[in-house]
Amino acid sequence: MAPSSEGPLSDLTVLDLTRALAGPHAGMMLGDMGARVIKIESPTGDDTRGWGPPFVGEDDERESTYFMAANRNKESLVLDLKSDEDREVLARLVERADVLMENFRVGVLDRLGFPVSRLHELNPGLIVLSITGFGHDGPEATRAGYDQIAQGEGGLMSITGTGQPTKVGVPIADLIAGMNGAFGVLAALHERSRTGRGRVVRTSLLAGMIGVHAFQGTRWTVAGEVPGLAGDHHPSIAPYGMFSTKSAPVQIACGSEGLWRALCGALGWDPAEDGFATNAERVAHRDALITRIESLFAAEPAEHWLALLSEAGVPSGKVRSMDDVYSWDQVLSQGLLLSVEHSTQGELKLPGSPIRFDDNPFSGGRSEHVAPPTLGQHNESIREWLES
Q: What is the mean pLDDT of residues 186-203?
A: 98
Catalytic residue among 174, 270, 358, 359: 174
- Fold agreement between 13-212+374-387 and 240-322: no
Q: Are strands 316-317 and 99-102 parallel, antiparallel or unpaired?
A: unpaired
Instruction: Report the pLDDT value the prediction gives residue 366, as an integer from 0 to 100.
Output: 87
The closest alpha carbon to 266, from 276, 278, 258, belongs to 258
Mean confidence (pLDDT) of the chain = 95
Does the structure show a pLDDT above 60 at 1?
no
pLDDT at 383: 97
Domain boundaries, the chain: 13-212+374-387, 240-322
**pLDDT per residue over 302-313, tens digit each?**
999 999 999 999
Q: How many whole angstroms separate alpha carbon 130 and alpha carbon 350?
A: 27
Confidence of residue 4 (pLDDT cuts 50, 70, 90): low
Asked if residue 70 has pLDDT above 60, the reply is yes
> What's the pLDDT band for 200 if we cut at 50, 70, 90?
very high
Per-residue pLDDT at 2 exceeds 90 = no
Q: Tens of pLDDT along 15-33?
A: 999 999 999 999 999 999 9
CB-based burial label for 269 (10 Å; 0-12, 13-18, 19+):
middle
Q: pLDDT of 348-371, one tens digit each?
A: 999 999 999 988 777 788 888 999
Q: What pLDDT is stored for residue 318 in this prediction?
A: 95
Element (H, E) at 102: strand 99-102
pTM of the entire predicted model: 0.93
Report percent pLDDT > 90 for the chain: 94
Whole-number Å distance between alpha carbons of 222 and 217: 8
Identify which has the larger pLDDT, 59 or 192. 192
Domain 240-322 has CATH 3.30.1540.10: yes
174 is catalytic: yes
Tell me what percent of the residues of the chain surpass a pLDDT of 70.
99
CATH of 13-212+374-387, one of 3.40.50.10540, 3.90.75.20, 3.40.1080.10, 3.30.70.20: 3.40.50.10540
pLDDT score for 146: 95
Phi, psi of 252 (to 5 degrees): -130, 140
What does the pLDDT look like over 277-286, one tens digit per residue? 999 999 999 9
Query: What is the reported pLDDT for 3?
Result: 54
Residues in the chain: 388
Determine the pLDDT at residue 362: 75
pLDDT tens, 94-152? 999 999 999 999 999 999 999 999 999 999 999 999 999 999 999 999 999 999 999 99
Residues 44-52: contacts with CB under 8 Å, at least 24 apart: 45/78, 45/375, 46/19, 46/20, 46/71, 47/19, 47/20, 48/19, 48/20, 48/21, 48/24, 49/375
Contact at 8 Å (CB) between 227 and 218?
A: no
What does the pLDDT read at residue 212?
A: 97
